[in-house]
Every structure is written in structure tokens, then in C-alpha cells.
Structure 1
């Protein structure tokens, strides 16, 4: 219950990508209807990136997309914490005093970035690992294998990388369980592989009739600077000193567990944690169009490593002190996360004051002044235009349109390249190769596709063009109207 507190006050959970997802939920919930049908098409398919989307669509008859999304997102840390506590209890026989040190990782950087489908899958992975051990202890092997043959496609449907993580962690856990039961390492590995093999059934969904599910760029192998940044950003939220201090606390805990004779490390979780860290090192940043693939492995692997730690028998005083410090750590992190989310949500609400000035169904070129990645705390406005899609049914260049990863595609071919993510993101000059240049975008965007320009984080008047005039501004963002003389017709080009 405490893990949900930071999400109670904000009307929209202040996660970087979530406003864009909420825009997509509106498009999906009104597919083929109203003004959005002229702007976005929907190609319905079974893909491994639909977790929160399906929950919101299921709730939509009762709730609008914004409150439905909030409820779904609130469930993610609650499920994650429940899974971690249950897993720790299955491994140690009781919840170890170190456990609360791991719980803030449900708010790790993947969650802060708004990777909600992946984070939902991650929470299900923690629950799945606990269920695997419970069934191994209480049921016949065939029951466990059959249950996970059905469970794995659910995780894949939430997010395909979460499914891959489930297979890796479960396979290593089962191998170690068999070794501790007295089996030799190699035969145990083969039997563990056979036990998790039925969980591979989603591969058939990925290959059969949906070739573009495997499309997209793969690259940035062994990008050490990025991996170092992901490591330092393990608890990244808003204030660097506070977040790096949390990383230092966890680092000292792990170091003590390795060196101290008073602590022990359970191999049931230690080996899966090592496998996850090895995957973090080996995986590229980009995989089949998905970004930050390696980074997503870090927080769950560290969480498993923390849960593997427990005081040895007879160390009651140490256990009590560790439990107190872990509880203090968790409560402090949740308290500061709550404050950070209040601040970010207020900044987002100020930016959203522009939304009522956008005509319903309009086509709007959005340009966002993106802060450098090294700037620790920002107001997470990258995808804020997604809320305008949800509330005003506009077309904007904010939506993702990755082959095999999104159901939505834009219906304004003349607007290209300003018809999809990341064309709306404007980085400081020279920071990101090939990124959108503000002045070039203002000079070259298709006037027949867009009736308005919405600049976020740029001063009013920054867009210099003879056919643009400021229609609304509040000092931090501005809406420009495009004169009709540059285009004979504003009817969208639909395909």
C-alpha cells in the first residue's frame, strides 16, 4: 500500500512516456471514429507490447482513458512489491531483513521513463518467480510447467522483453534449485531448460503472420558510456545527490554481503541476479527497434541480488538493525518520490494549460525543447502532447510508429518526416546526430498538413516564419497559427 502513495495525488502519473501512451489509448479506444480516424489508423494485431493498453481498453466502458491509465499504473509498483516480498519469503522461508532495500527499485528508471508495459511485465516476472518456487514446493512438476506455459504468453503480451526476462530468471532459478537438491550442474541445466521450454510458445506468435514484429534497428553493442550512465541512474528521479546516495547504500550492502561472514547469499536468487547482470552487459542499447534494452535488465537484477541477502543463523541483532535500516530506506525513498512527483506533475499541468487553446481535431506540429540526458531532474515534457490527443483528438507528430511494436500509424504522409516520434524532440544543437533542428522544422514543415505549431519550452516568438502568428502563449510555450494562403486545402491526405 505504501508503494502506491507517490501516485495518489497526480491526476496523471508524471512518467516521461506516459502522456504519449495515454494519447495512444484514446486513439485505440476510438479507432475508426471522429476526428482521430482521419489522423491515425489502427492495425489490430497481437504484439508483445500491449499490457497497460489492454487494461485501459477493458476499463474504458467504465472510465475515461486518463483515470483508467492512472489505476493501471498504480497497480504496477504494488504488484512489483508484492512479488518481491513473496519471492523473498519463498527463498528464505520468511521475509529477510534486507528485503525493503529492494522495494524502491519498482520505481527504477524504467518506470520513471514511463515504460509502463515493460514495468507491468517486470512486476509479473517477480510474481512468477515466487509462484514457480511455490509450485515446485507444493505441486507435481507437470502442474508447474503447464501453469507457466499459460502464464508466459500473458507476460509476453504485456511486453516481449519482460517475457524474455522471465525465461532467463526462471531457467537460472530452476537450475540452481536442482543443484541444491543434489543434481550435477550439467544435467540440472538440461532439465531446467526442458522445464522452461514450454514458455517459449510466444515465439510462434512473433513468427507466424507478423514478420514486422522482428523489424527495427539493432545496435549500440557494448556502449560502455551508456551502461555506466544506466548504472549511476539506478534510482534516478529528480535530485542527483539523493539518488546517487541511494545507489551508494545499495552498493555498500552488496559489498558487505560478499565480504562479511555474518551474512549469506542465497544461490536461488544470486545466480539469476548474475545472469541478469551478464545480460545487462551483453545486450545492446537498441534491439529490433526497442530502445534502452540493456538498461531494463539492471534494476530487476539488482533487486534479486538484494533479496538473496540474509543474516546467518544466530545474528539476531544484526537482523534487527538491518530490518530497521531497510525500512527507513524504503520509507525515505517513497517520501521523496512523492515530493518529486508532486513537483513534476505541477510543471506538466502548467504546460497543459495550452491544450484548451487547440481546436478539436486540429493537426498540430509539436516541438519540445528537450533537456540533455545528463541533466538529472527535468519536468518530463517530452511526450506531453499525447494528453492533447486524448483531450482534443488532435493529430500531432508525437506518437510512436515502430513496425511490429505499435498498433497506431499516422495518416498524414505529406507531413513526413514530421509525422511521428521522435520528430517533435529538439535537443540542444550538436548533442544528438540527426535530431530535429528547430529552425529547419519551422522552415520546412508541410503547411498543408499542419494548421498549428505548438512549441514547448521555447519563448513566444521563437518560431520565425512569415506565415506564422502567435495565437496563444504563457511564456513557457506558445501556439502559432499557420496562414491559409500557403495551402489551398487543409483536408488531410489519408491512406
Structure 2
């Protein structure tokens, strides 16, 4: 397999800056530290990270943390630990939560994920190019990509760990320490796997693709290089045994929606999806254009090492269905990381041209600042609104049963961050809410409250207007069918104005911006859960 020399650079990487000469500012440790610290900023203020799914995750953390000692929670939930590939933040937050509290522990861990992702990207770029290319910062805002903002925190943690591990893999390969690398990556593969299976799979693909290029650059034919790369990557095969055991014990979980080209195109445009559609799509366009610019520029090119890794991830994205073992958005999750590989692959064909490099570095950092600034405004705004909405919980007694309904504004670009906010009633009041979900393909968390019927768990909390393209309850229908005797409170979040008769039998208790709490009036005494 041959690559035109004007498109992809031949490895090995360019030499580092000669000793005695000052490093360009984008290669120094202060720059690296600044980029990592900057990634902490968007989540510094909000008490609860305003990510779409985080409330549901925190409800599960609360159950895992306190179920054994809480007769209240035991009425509705059971929880058992299993050695599955979806435990990342859970395993960290439970011990840390016992020390500093559940909410601070969750915030610290979730806030660290983008910073770790940025550190991993920079390490990978440094190992491949033997220096940090001036364009590297164009990739860094992808740490706040669509999957992270959606609240896929176990997945995002596993990908951050995978990038850091990939940096180590590249470094040990460059130093010729293949035996040490094989020994280290046996436990490392299990760490990444337990965070999330997806990260483990991605790490395997990255390491295999990079090793294949390294073997080829040592003069071997491509088919021999691929075989040798597969042999080296076998050091990470151990978790496959756990996957076989896990899937044999799994409950439900379909795999569906192959080659859904409409969504695959949309996910490219949505890689930065946060709040402002034009701004986010423009950012995605820039991220996609930067590697193309490098391919056509006479002085720039792509490293074959990372370009090949990017192509492997891109091919995996094309081949993956939307739903894997019941887990939705499986293919979407890869987009920011595939794009990041192509951006990190950019380099100069020969020696660095510093006037051009300086302009590229300034543009890249400007892009990073603009994106992180936008994320900061968006998440701080969402965090403040979230705290006002959570004021409802001051009026909910401990151990209550709360029916939560969240209005879905169809086809809205901005993330609806209240989808699982209701589960914070479990976190702060040990209450039952209908927006918990058993972890897909496992039986760690089980919700048992048959009196609630359909309203026992997610997605019963999502209601929509008629004419919405997505499936789900119409708001009036949801309120009519709600088994009122099964709940003490009705909590409406981000609801459009509705007629008063739709909530007959419920008395308003408290209201704030986008949050209305009603209490069931009259009726029988509350039975045990």
C-alpha cells in the first residue's frame, strides 16, 4: 500500500528542537499546563455538572452508595456489582463519595475527564511528532464534544484513559521497549475496559493501527506488518473473556440501525452540539476542514501513523450501528475522537516554517479559547438554571414518590439538560422517581415498583407535543394515564403551559423557572413502596 508523499508524511517523526534553542511557545510545558487547566473551566462553577444524563447516573451512585443502610431505598431498588465494561465513574465515585460526599465527588471526577482527554491528545501528538505541532490545539475542544455533553461519563472516562494509554504505547514503542509494553498493557487494558468497553475497543484499534505503521516503516511488507501489529495488540485481549461472560448474563439489549446515513451525517455536524446551532455547526466545519487544509497546503501534510489511526476509527464509525446491545448513539460517540486523530496528525513536510507555524498556533489556540469560552457560558448558564429548578426538592419529604415529567421540545438543537434531573430527588431526598434506568445489558441496578406501571422507569418521564417525529407520550395522555395513587408528588420540568384541568387532583406546592412541583391532594394514605 503506497501513499503519495505529498499527502502523507513518511515516518519516523521529525526531530525535536535542538538543545540550546528556545522552544516555540506552543511546545513548552506552560502551554500544555494552560490547555489542561483551561479544560477544567466550564465545569468549575456548576454544583451538579449540567450534562444530559448525569442526574440518572448520580441517582445510581446514590443507590450503590447507600442502599445497604437505607430501608427507604430498598423499597424500590436493588443493586449488585458485576465485572462489566461500564463501571468507570461508578467505581471512583463510591469510595470518594464516602469521604467528601456524593455530589462533590461526582463533580470532581466528571470535571477531570475533559482535562485528562486534553492531556491524552497532547501526549499522543508529542509522541508521534517528537514535538507538539502548532495545530494541536484545534483538536482540544473536542474534549467537550457531543458524547461528553450528553452525559456519557463512563464512556468519556474510558476514552480519556485510552488516549493516555495510547500515548504510553507510542512512547514505549519509540523506545523499543516492546516486552515491557506487553506486560504493562495487560493490566492497563482491564482498567480501560472496566471504565467502558468502548474505550478498550478504541485503545485496541489505535494501538494496532499505530503498530502496523511502525512495523511497515521498519521495512516490512504491509501484510507482515499487520500480522505483527495484531500480535503486539494481543496483550490487550484479556477483557474479551469478561465480555463473553458479561453478555451471557446480559438482559435485553438489541443491536440495530445499521448504516443510518442520515444520522451519520448529522453526527458529523453535531460533534460540538451544545446550545447554539450555527456556532456549533461552524465549529464542526472548521474541525473537519483543518485536516483537509493540511492535505492541500504545500508545506503541510499528515503523519501516516495518526492518519491511519483516524482512518481506522472513521471506518469503525461507518460500520457501527446506532444501537449496540441496547446502548443508543454507539456510532456517534466515535466522531470527536476520529476527527481529533486527523487534526493531531497534521505536521510540516520538512523543517518547521515558523512564520506559518506561529499563525497556525495562534489560530488553533483562538479556536480552543472560543470553544471553551462558549462551553463555559453554556454550562454555567445551565448550572444556574438547574440549581433554581432543584429548589423544588426543599419541599419534598425524604422517602417520597415523585412522578417526573419533562417536556421535549421536538427537534431542538440545545441539549435538554432536565431529562434526568428528577433523579436528583433520589440523591438528595432518597425519593423514588420514574427516570432511573437499569444499566444497558446488565443487571447492576434493578427498579421494582409495579404500582407505577409504565411510569416505573426511563423513558416514562419524557413527554412531547403531537406531531413530534420522535416516539413518546403526548403530554395530555401522559397525565391522564399517570397512576396518581402510586405517587405523592408530580414534578413538571421545562413544561410548556398546560390547561389546569390536566392536573386536577394535584395542588401546586412550589414553582420557579422551568420547575413546578405539585402534591397529590386527598386520597388514601400512602402505602409502603
TMscore range, shorter length: over 0.9
Q: Is the 8 A contact 1:152 1:163 kept in 2?
A: yes
**Matching residue of 1:4:** 40
Distance 1:358 1:15 in 2: 23
**Matching residue of 1:383:** 420
Give the SS at the match of 2:467. Answer: coil
2:303 corresponds, among 266, 269, 279, to 266
**Matching residue of 1:222:** 259
How far off is 1:378 after superposition? 4.4
4+ residue segments displaced more than 3 Å:
212-215, 459-463
Q: In the superposition, relative to structure 1, how do residues 233 and 463 fare at CA in structure 2: closer, same or farther (>3 Å)?
A: farther
1:349 corresponds, among 387, 393, 418, to 387
Give the SS at the match of 2:347. Answer: strand
**Matching residue of 1:149:** 186
**Matching residue of 1:131:** 168
Distance 1:470 1:7 in 2: 33
**Matching residue of 1:361:** 399
**Matching residue of 2:336:** 299
Distance 2:106 2:91 in 1: 10
Give the SS at the match of 1:454. Answer: strand
Distance 1:233 1:472 in 2: 36
Unaligned 5+ runs, structure 1: none
Give the SS at the match of 1:61. Answer: helix
**Matching residue of 2:54:** 18
Unaligned 5+ runs, structure 2: 1-36
**Matching residue of 1:472:** 510
**Matching residue of 2:97:** 60
- Where does 1:416-435 land on structure 2 (aligned, <5 Å)? 416-432=453-469, 434-435=471-472
Q: In the superposition, relative to structure 1, how do residues 36 and 299 fare at CA in structure 2: closer, same or farther (>3 Å)?
A: same
Give the SS at the match of 2:91. Answer: helix
Equivalences, count: 490
How far off is 1:391 after superposition? 0.5
- Where does 1:116-195 land on structure 2 (aligned, <5 Å)? 116-195=153-232
**Matching residue of 2:9:** none
With normalisation by structure 1, the TM-score equals: 0.94
Q: Is the 8 A contact 2:150 2:415 kept in 1?
A: no
Deviations 1:295-323 (A, max 9, x none): 01110010010000012224222111111
Q: In the superposition, relative to structure 1, how do residues 225 and 392 fare at CA in structure 2: closer, same or farther (>3 Å)?
A: same
Q: Is the 8 A contact 1:439 1:463 kept in 2?
A: no
How far off is 1:209 after superposition? 6.4
How far off is 1:24 after superposition? 1.3
**Matching residue of 2:409:** 371
Give the SS at the match of 2:256. Answer: coil
Distance 2:183 2:166 in 1: 15
1:33 corresponds, among 56, 69, 76, to 69
How far off is 1:21 after superposition? 1.1
Q: Is the 8 A contact 1:47 1:404 kept in 2?
A: no
How far off is 1:290 after superposition? 0.7
Distance 1:233 1:128 in 2: 27
Q: Is the 8 A contact 2:97 2:104 kept in 1?
A: no
2:483 corresponds, among 443, 446, 458, to 446
Give the SS at the match of 2:253. Answer: coil
Give the SS at the match of 2:491. Answer: strand
2:448 corresponds, among 407, 411, 423, to 411
With normalisation by structure 2, the TM-score equals: 0.89
Distance 2:330 2:212 in 1: 25
How far off is 1:261 after superposition? 2.2
RMSD: 1.9
Distance 1:379 1:265 in 2: 38
Q: Is the 8 A contact 2:215 2:225 kept in 1?
A: yes
Q: Is the 8 A contact 1:212 1:403 kept in 2?
A: no
